[in-house]
Amino acid sequence: MADQGWYDDTEYHESVRRANRATRFGWSAIAWTTGTLGCALATIAVIFVVAMFAIAYAVVASHY
């Protein structure tokens, strides 16, 4: 009777569940941040390419 909690792993399982939840949240935050930075980088690259074409067009058009 004195050792009835000897095999009770409730606290352990609760800790594992919370750790898994924190891990999922962490990976979600990393994925969201990486995706956002990737979209921002792609947008900047597109703006840069469009600006380069606009400058090239202006230079070529000014020679005619």
Q: Rounded to whole angstroms, how far apart are CA atoms 20 and 18?
A: 5
pLDDT in tens, the chain (64 residues): 455 566 777 888 999 999 999 999 999 999 999 999 999 999 999 999 999 999 999 999 998 7
pLDDT at 1: 45
pTM of the model: 0.64
Q: Indicate whether 51 belongs to any domain.
A: yes
Q: Rounded to whole angstroms, how far apart are CA atoms 30 and 36?
A: 10
Range of the domain at 13: 9-64
pLDDT in tens, 4-15: 566 777 888 999
